[in-house]
Structure 1
Amino acid sequence: MSEAVVSAESSSAPSNLLEFLRVQKSGYLQALEKGDTQNDRWTISLGNEAGDLDSLASAVAYAWYATHHLGQSTVPLLQTPRADISLRAENLYALDFSGKYALVDHNTLTGRFAAYERVRVVAIIDHHEDEKHHLDASPRIIEVPTGSCSSLVARLIKKEWPEGMSRAVARLLLSAILIDTGGLKAGGKAETADREVAPFLLERAELTSEGVGTLVDNQGMKGVKELTKTLEAKKDSVDHLGARDLLRRDYKEYRFVPSWNAEGTLVVGLASVPRGIKAITGGDEKGGKVLGAACVAWLQEKGLDMLGVLTSWKDKGKHRREMVWVVRDDKEAKQRLWKGLEGSKELKLQRKEGKKYVDGMESGVGKGLKVRVYEQGNAHATRKVTAPLIRVIVEGRE
């Protein structure tokens, strides 16, 4: 399995994070081999399907906390897309082995996880819009806005079990917070929860012994700035990826019930890509055709009705965003989407037409599908803004 797996009682859990993951994964797999069907013993700490650093850190840290402090056998699972995951039956069996889930960085079960009838969600920690599911989960912590889910997990550990915050766990959580908030910069994505927990993590991470309190005042420190710079460089290192891998690298999927068809389901995928369309396509028609074909292939592979590609990059120090939408040629869905997007005061979209790479995308998409490309005027509006907007457009409710 590609996932870190944990199963331990608090009295025997090792203090080293790497050893903790190795030993407990081994114990969990041994239980699988023995056919242990007592799945109520196990809780899966489940990150969202985008599989980013925030999900990884939150899933691992919550599993560490639940196993050590609560004495609950917990499996951290990162939904990192792997082309061959469905080909390995042991992976799917391991996912089906647990009857309990703790959701981090999302607040509702989706995809194959939602299909398991006996599943119970026992905990939620998230910073996305509350979808009002699993209301009996405890803890059920959903705070919007918060820059990083890792901040909420860290705050829980700080409150309930501060002595259990190891250096490795603190560094993992702090790294996620820094990458999500741009180094906790003033005027950025950092919110109260992010700033309040940062000094605690910084002290436990042992990055520096001076000026811990300055993080709260947005002044920053050398160690934090250097770590943020390194993390951002790694995050933006995608030049080796082709169009398909860019689409699957940071991808989330949503299922909505259309207001015009209460018996139907509309499946929407949103892929966040840290490059502009011109850079991806080379700015020419041929490159646009390749990207368009890749979007169609991904839409078909995932069984989507709509695919949104949300690009984000910096141009001469200025943050910019675009959107590409590939939609099945359903009249009602298509018209509602275009109207809702183009009328959004929050996104401030302006349609792109006449560019060679846009013409290429239209050619690459082919018959039965429609594509539109937009410049996004509000560069601060991320997927956390777009996903709820699409829900309103499709379901017709706030």
Structure 2
Amino acid sequence: MMRNSRILQGISVFSYAAFATPLSQPQQAVINGRITPDKQVGVGHFSEWSRATKKEFLIDWQAGREDKWIFVQGNEGGDTDSMTAALTWAYHLGHATQNTSDPLKAIALLQTPTHALDLRPENKKALENSKMTAGHEDLLTIDELPEDPETLSRKLRGIVLVDHAKPLRKWNDAKILSIFDHHKDEGAGKDADPRVFEKTASCTTIVARQMLDELEKLSEEYHMPHELLELILSAIAIDSSGLKEEKSTKADVETSKRVLARSNWREKDLSEVMEGLDNQLNGIRNALDHLGLRDLLRRDWKGDLVDTPSPQTPTISLGFASIPYSFDEQIEKTEFSELFDWFAIHAAWTAEMGVDISVCLNKYKIETEDGTTDITEKKKIREIVLVVRDDVRIDAAQADALFKVAREAIEKAGKDGLLKELKPWHNAPELGVRQMVWTHESDAGRKDIRPLVEEAVMTWD
């Protein structure tokens, strides 16, 4: 009920339809070689540019001209921030250089499969608001690449990383041209330019600010579609909770002002616009009750190969899922509502991904009372689920050792205070071999726990 009321509140506070033209009426279109009479084709310059750029890249690939192209790519989690930052910088690179002696060809690559994009309903809504074609045919996703990344990376002009501090292993052979990130600098692309690491609520803030700074220095500004500007505002609003003071930085606020001034909402109050976007998109973002466990696992999945000192197994595949439900709630989403079924579904997913060690990071809230009043408050709880397989790259003995070092690293973080109130899950004795679940009450998320586990893997022998 609370989720539905928030969505309704968002719609009443701010109706996107008041500012944006809806998608074109259903019409016949050729999509992926198929005639689809009821497909809603995107309208407006932004959709047309994105679709044309995708087509041009595929034409150039077929003709062996991959070296002309720059891939602007975010992280594989594929949230609105990562997607928008990539689209924004790709648009800028192509348009800012179009009248120069070295015009650049750039395209945003979403490192999320097409079938997983709608697992983030806020993405679907933000793209719909920006009048993009239904079904994401305007976008280039990782599963649509006509060549494997390991090979393609060596042919490209280069890559730009947004909302991502270092490339995934499969892109290691690509030249890193620029990096924009709002997390920790991990030392990649030392020669990249621009190379910006700054603590902001949204990485889109950094990219949009750089875009506007460069745009305003041009002798003649290129056309900036209002749909892209409004998508930028949407991404910043989601990550800053509508520019709330405790969630946003000065850069988030100032950049949003500059973007708003160029958008179709320029006559609107910034606070009203950003609060309305936050209510609408974050309300939709939390409407996930219809998703099953497998979809929750793959909805926000990030993983890569990690180096180890073991000559027998020099690399290990490590994967992370972030899920906004408790472990008990996830169990209830399985067919049999039993612990064994959770691990069966999890095993099928990690086998498909070729993962040796996986970590699920769950977060949820519980109601608590202070004991002196009848007022209840929401208390945030997080969980860590650690699982190691022995059937991908390592055998049972190696898996036992790997599980041991990863478990010890997490429990040490509990003793050191990083993972406040770390303790075993209430039904931990029922867990199987190389399975462990903890709860904790800290704010430590993936950006804190992933380095712990990666360092443990890198010391495992």
Normalising by the residue count of structure 1, what TM-score does the alignment of the two structures yield? 0.80
Correspondence for 1:182: 241
Separation of aligned partners in 2, 1:262 and 1:200: 54
Correspondence for 2:79: 52
Separation of aligned partners in 2, 1:88 and 1:138: 28
Shift of 1:58: 0.7
Separation of aligned partners in 1, 2:227 and 2:147: 27
Secondary structure at the aligned position of 2:91 is classed as helix
Separation of aligned partners in 1, 2:451 and 2:400: 22
| Mapping for residues 1-398 of structure 1, pairs under 5 Å | 16-33=45-62, 35=63, 37-70=64-97, 71-82=103-114, 90=146, 92=148, 98-114=156-172, 117=173, 119-143=174-198, 145-162=199-216, 165-188=224-247, 190-207=248-265, 209-212=267-270, 221-258=271-308, 264-282=314-332, 286-316=337-367, 317-328=378-389, 330-344=399-413, 345-355=417-427, 362=431, 369-378=433-442, 380-395=443-458
- Residue pair 1:351, 1:372 contacting (<8 A) in 2 also: no
- Residue pair 1:208, 1:223 contacting (<8 A) in 2 also: no
Q: Percent sequence identity over matched residues?
A: 29
* Cα separation, partners in 2 of 1:286 and 1:23, compared to 1, 3 Å: closer
Separation of aligned partners in 2, 1:147 and 1:72: 29
Deviations 1:109-128 (A, max 9, x none): 214333xx4x2221211123
Separation of aligned partners in 1, 2:322 and 2:231: 22
Shift of 1:299: 2.3
Separation of aligned partners in 2, 1:287 and 1:179: 34
- Residue pair 1:353, 1:373 contacting (<8 A) in 2 also: yes
Secondary structure at the aligned position of 1:90 is classed as coil
Separation of aligned partners in 2, 1:274 and 1:204: 35
Separation of aligned partners in 1, 2:197 and 2:312: 28
Separation of aligned partners in 2, 1:87 and 1:236: 26
* Cα separation, partners in 2 of 1:86 and 1:80, compared to 1, 3 Å: closer
Partner letter of residue 327 of structure 1?
V
Separation of aligned partners in 1, 2:86 and 2:453: 27
Partner letter of residue 269 of structure 1?
G
- Residue pair 1:45, 1:101 contacting (<8 A) in 2 also: yes
* Cα separation, partners in 2 of 1:106 and 1:89, compared to 1, 3 Å: closer
Structure 1: stretches of 5+ with no match in the other structure: 4-13, 213-220, 364-368
Separation of aligned partners in 1, 2:308 and 2:146: 36
Separation of aligned partners in 2, 1:193 and 1:351: 38
Separation of aligned partners in 2, 1:30 and 1:76: 16
Shift of 1:95: 5.2
Normalising by the residue count of structure 2, what TM-score does the alignment of the two structures yield? 0.70
- Residue pair 1:342, 1:349 contacting (<8 A) in 2 also: no
* Cα separation, partners in 2 of 1:135 and 1:324, compared to 1, 3 Å: same
Separation of aligned partners in 1, 2:250 and 2:446: 21
* Cα separation, partners in 2 of 1:100 and 1:280, compared to 1, 3 Å: same
Partner letter of residue 271 of structure 1?
A
Deviations 1:161-220 (A, max 9, x none): 1455542222112211221222222323x23432332222233334352544xxxxxxxx
Give the number of equivalent residue pairs: 362
- Residue pair 1:81, 1:248 contacting (<8 A) in 2 also: no
Partner letter of residue 386 of structure 2?
W
Partner letter of residue 171 of structure 2?
F
* Cα separation, partners in 2 of 1:176 and 1:43, compared to 1, 3 Å: same
Separation of aligned partners in 1, 2:143 and 2:249: 41
Secondary structure at the aligned position of 2:161 is classed as strand
Secondary structure at the aligned position of 1:237 is classed as coil
Separation of aligned partners in 1, 2:110 and 2:363: 24
* Cα separation, partners in 2 of 1:353 and 1:388, compared to 1, 3 Å: closer
Secondary structure at the aligned position of 2:387 is classed as strand
Rg larger in structure: 2
- Residue pair 1:280, 1:287 contacting (<8 A) in 2 also: no
Shift of 1:247: 0.9
Name the structure, 1 or 2, with higher relative contact order (CA <8 Å, separation 6+). Answer: 2
Separation of aligned partners in 2, 1:336 and 1:203: 53
Separation of aligned partners in 2, 1:137 and 1:331: 40
Deviations 1:70-94 (A, max 9, x none): 3311011101135798987736489
